[in-house]
C-alpha cells in the first residue's frame, strides 16, 4: 500500500467534477454542511447495512487515517474478517473509504451504498473512483455493486428490515469509467495548493445538479451587482430565451424581446412573463382586474392550512414505505368573517406513532369543520397529494368520502397568485415566503436565527426528534421550532388573502 498522506478524497473529486470553484471552496473556504435529512437517511441506512452484511471490521468511527489504512491492510492480509466497513485506501494522493468490502475466497466484492431508490448516472464515476484506487492498492475486486433502498419495501414493524436493501451489480459500467479517474485526479489536484486562485466560474445549472451546491450564497454575493433586474428571475425561463440572452450579452429583463417571453403556463395568468417584465419596469404590483370577482367566490369561514411531511428513507412507522411522504404535522387557522379576528390556530404534531396517519387525518377533519374555503399554498403539489395518498391507506380508507369533501374546499393560493397577482418585490418567486415580502407591514419573518427556514429543515427536525439518541430538551426545542414554522406558513396565507381583499375593496 502507498504512503499515508493525501491531497484529494472521493468527495473532493465529486465536488470538482460538478464545479472546480466548488472544490476550491472545499479546500480554502469550506462551509460545513448542516446535518440535512439526506445525511441522516444515509446514517440510518448504514445501520441496516451492518445488520444485513453482518459483523466485521467496522472502521467508520475511526478518523485516524494512517491507522485505518493499517487496519484495512491487516484485515485484507489475514482471514480474521470477511467484511470490512469503511476501509481506507490511498493511491495517487487520493484517499477513498469504501462502504463495504466482502471477502469471496481470494477476491473481494466492493459494495457502495447510496440511500436513493435507484441507480443514478452520477454514481458510476463516483464508484469508479473507489474501485480504481482499491485495485491500485492491489485488492482483487471480483464484483462491484451499488446497494440502495428498495422503494417497494413495506415496513411491517419489529425492526424487521429484510428486503429494504437492493443490490445492483455494476462491475462492467464502473470498470469502463475507471480509465478516467487518473485524469480527474491530475486535473483537480492543483486546486488544493495554498496560493491557487479561485477559478472564475459563473453560476448556472451546474449549481443545482447533480447536487445542490452549498456555496450558492457565496457565489451570488460574488456576482456583479446591477442597477437593473436580471432576466434570470423569470420563472421557467425557456432555453431559447437563455440562449438568446447569452449570445447577445443581455442581462436586463427589460431588453428581452417579447417573442421569447412565455405566455402560457397552467396556473399562471396569460402572458405572465410579460406581466413580470412590465411590473418591474413600472416598479409596481400587477393585479388582475378580475381579482375581486375571484375572491367573491370564496366562502367564510376561511381556513388556512399547511402540512409538513417527511421522506423517511428507512421507514420507522409501521405500514409505510421508504420514500412515500409521511405527513406528521398540520397547522390550521380559522377566520370567521371579514370583520372578525383570526383565531389562535390549532395544530397537530406527532412523529412515529404507529397510527400517526389516522390521528393526523381525524384531527384535521375536526379542525376544518365541514364548510368554508380552505386556503393552502402550493396545495396541488403538497396538501392535496398527501390527502389523496391518505385515502388509499388501509387505516384511513373509511374516511375517503370526508377527505374528498375536504379536498373540494381547498383553494391553492399558488394558483390564485399566479393567475392574479405579481409584485416586483417577489423577484420572480412564488413561494409563500417570497410573496409575503410584497405585503406591506406583514409581521411574518422566516429569517429568524436558529429557526426552521424551509421544508428540508422541517424534515431534519423530524429525524432529530425520532432519533433515540436525542435528549428530551433538544426534542422540545425542535418541536417548538416546528410548531412555529408551520404556524408561520398558515398565518402568511391569511395575511396574503387579507391583503388581496383590502387591495380590491374599492375596485
Give the interface with ligand SF4 as residue ranges (CB under 6 A): 19, 21-22, 25, 201, 203, 206-207, 213, 215-216, 219
Nearest residue to 273 via CA among 308, 229, 310 = 229
Residues counted in the chain: 507
Query: For ligand SF4, which is the closer residue by CB, 210 or 454?
Result: 210
DSSP 204-253: -GGGTSSS--TTHHHHHHHSPP-SS-BGGGSTT--HHHHHHHHHTT--BG
Check: CB of residue 439 under 8 Å from CB of residue 498.
no
- Least distance in Å: CB of 223 to ligand SF4? 10
- Least distance in Å: CB of 33 to ligand SF4? 13
Check: CB of residue 391 under 8 Å from CB of residue 403.
yes
Query: For ligand SF4, which is the closer residue by CB, 204 or 238?
Result: 204
Query: For ligand SF4, which is the closer residue by CB, 31 or 47?
Result: 31
HSE-up of 98 (CA within 13 Å, CB side)?
Answer: 31
- Least distance in Å: CB of 211 to ligand SF4? 9
Query: For ligand SF4, which is the closer residue by CB, 188 or 213?
Result: 213
Nearest residue to 1 via CA among 83, 67, 70 = 70
Query: For ligand SF4, which is the closer residue by CB, 217 or 502?
Result: 217
Query: For ligand SF4, which is the closer residue by CB, 30 or 282?
Result: 30
Check: CB of residue 483 under 8 Å from CB of residue 349.
yes
Check: CB of residue 420 under 8 Å from CB of residue 291.
yes
Three-state secondary structure call for residue 505: coil
3-state secondary structure 305-347: EEEEEECCCCCCCCCCCCCCCEEEEEEEEEECCCCCCCCCCEE
- Least distance in Å: CB of 128 to ligand SF4? 22
Query: For ligand SF4, which is the closer residue by CB, 25 or 330?
Result: 25
Query: For ligand SF4, which is the closer residue by CB, 22 or 325?
Result: 22
Query: For ligand SF4, which is the closer residue by CB, 203 or 400?
Result: 203
- Least distance in Å: CB of 201 to ligand SF4? 5
- Least distance in Å: CB of 210 to ligand SF4? 11
Check: CB of residue 372 under 8 Å from CB of residue 299.
yes
What is the C-alpha to C-alpha distance for residues 454 and 241, in angstroms, rounded to an integer?
30
- Least distance in Å: CB of 32 to ligand SF4? 15
Residue 74: count other Cβ atoms within 10 Å of its Cβ: 12
Query: For ligand SF4, which is the closer residue by CB, 163 or 204?
Result: 204
- Least distance in Å: CB of 23 to ligand SF4? 8
What is the C-alpha to C-alpha distance for residues 288 and 297, in angstroms, rounded to an integer?
15
Check: CB of residue 45 under 8 Å from CB of residue 113.
yes
**Dihedral, 33, 64, 88, 124 alpha carbons, nearest 10:** 10
Residue 370: count other Cβ atoms within 10 Å of its Cβ: 9
- Least distance in Å: CB of 236 to ligand SF4? 20
- Least distance in Å: CB of 24 to ligand SF4? 8
The position carrying cell 470553484 is 21
DSSP 107-119: EEEEEEE--SSS-
- Least distance in Å: CB of 209 to ligand SF4? 9
- Least distance in Å: CB of 200 to ligand SF4? 10
DSSP 112-174: EE--SSS--TTHHHHHHHHHHHHHHTT--EEEEEEEEE-TT----STT--TT-EEEEE-HHHH
Query: For ligand SF4, which is the closer residue by CB, 35 or 216?
Result: 216
Query: For ligand SF4, which is the closer residue by CB, 195 or 205?
Result: 205
Amino acid at each position: 500500500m502507498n504512503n499515508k498522506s493525501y491531497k484529494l478524497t472521493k468527495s473532493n473529486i465529486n465536488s470538482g467534477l460538478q464545479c472546480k470553484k466548488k472544490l476550491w471552496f472545499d479546500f480554502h473556504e469550506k462551509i460545513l454542511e448542516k446535518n440535512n435529512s439526506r445525511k441522516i437517511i444515509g446514517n440510518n441506512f448504514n445501520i441496516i447495512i451492518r445488520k444485513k452484511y453482518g459483523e466485521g471490521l467496522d472502521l467508520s468511527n475511526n478518523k485516524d487515517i494512517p491507522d485505518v489504512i493499517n487496519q484495512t491492510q491487516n484485515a485484507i492480509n489475514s482471514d480474521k474478517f470477511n467484511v470490512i466497513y469503511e476501509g481506507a485506501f490511498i493511491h495517487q494522493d487520493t484517499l477513498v473509504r469504501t462502504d463495504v468490502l466482502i471477502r469471496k475466497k481470494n477476491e473481494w466484492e466492493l459494495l457502495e451504498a447510496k440511500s436513493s431508490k435507484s441507480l443514478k448516472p452520477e454514481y458510476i464515476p463516483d464508484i469508479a473512483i473507489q474501485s480504481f484506487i482499491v485495485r491500485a492498492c492491489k485488492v482483487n475486486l471480483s464484483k462491484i455493486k451499488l446497494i440502495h433502498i428498495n422503494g417497494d419495501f413495506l415496513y411491517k414493524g419489529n425492526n424487521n428490515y429484510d428486503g429494504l436493501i437492493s443490490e445492483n451489480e455494476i462491475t462492467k459500467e464502473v470498470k469502463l469509467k475507471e480509465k478516467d479517474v487518473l485524469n480527474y485526479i491530475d486535473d483537480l489536484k492543483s486546486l488544493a495548493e495554498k496560493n491557487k486562485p479561485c477559478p472564475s466560474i459563473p453560476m448556472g445549472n451546474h449549481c443545482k445538479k447533480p447536487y445542490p451546491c452549498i456555496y450558492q450564497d457565496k457565489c451570488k454575493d460574488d456576482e456583479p451587482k446591477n442597477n437593473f433586474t436580471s432576466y434570470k428571475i423569470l420563472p421557467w425561463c425557456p432555453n431559447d430565451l437563455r440562449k438568446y440572452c447569452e449570445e447577445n450579452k443581455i442581462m436586463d429583463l427589460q431588453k428581452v424581446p417579447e417573442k421569447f417571453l412565455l405566455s402560457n403556463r397552467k396556473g399562471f395568468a396569460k402572458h405572465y412573463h410579460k406581466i413580470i417584465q412590465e411590473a418591474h419596469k413600472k416598479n409596481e404590483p400587477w393585479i388582475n382586474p378580475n381579482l375581486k370577482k375571484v375572491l367573491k367566490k370564496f366562502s367564510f369561514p376561511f381556513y388556512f392550512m399547511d402540512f409538513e411531511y417527511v421522506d423517511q428513507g428507512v421507514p420507522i412507522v409501521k405500514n409505510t414505505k421508504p420514500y412515500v411522504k409521511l405527513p406528521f404535522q398540520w397547522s390550521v387557522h380559522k377566520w370567521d368573517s371579514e370583520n372578525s379576528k383570526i383565531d389562535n390556530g390549532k395544530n397537530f404534531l406527532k412523529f412515529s406513532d404507529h397510527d400517526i396517519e389516522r390521528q393526523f387525518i381525524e384531527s384535521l377533519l375536526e379542525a376544518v369543520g365541514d364548510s368554508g374555503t380552505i386556503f393552502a399554498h402550493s396545495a396541488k403539489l403538497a396538501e392535496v397529494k398527501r390527502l389523496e395518498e391518505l385515502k388509499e391507506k388501509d387505516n384511513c380508507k373509511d374516511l375517503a368520502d370526508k377527505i374528498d369533501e375536504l379536498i373540494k374546499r381547498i383553494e391553492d393560493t399558488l394558483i390564485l397568485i399566479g393567475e392574479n397577482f405579481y409584485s416586483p418585490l417577489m423577484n420572480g418567486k412564488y413561494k409563500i415566503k417570497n410573496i409575503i415580502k410584497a405585503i406591506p407591514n406583514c409581521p411574518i419573518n422566516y429569517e429568524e436565527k436558529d429557526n426552521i427556514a424551509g421544508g428540508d429543515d422541517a424534515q431534519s427536525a423530524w429525524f432529530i426528534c425520532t432519533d433515540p439518541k436525542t435528549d428530551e430538551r433538544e426534542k422540545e426545542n425542535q418541536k417548538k421550532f416546528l410548531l412555529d414554522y408551520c404556524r408561520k406558513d398558515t398565518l402568511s396565507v391569511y395575511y396574503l388573502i387579507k391583503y388581496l381583499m383590502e387591495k380590491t375593496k374599492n375596485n
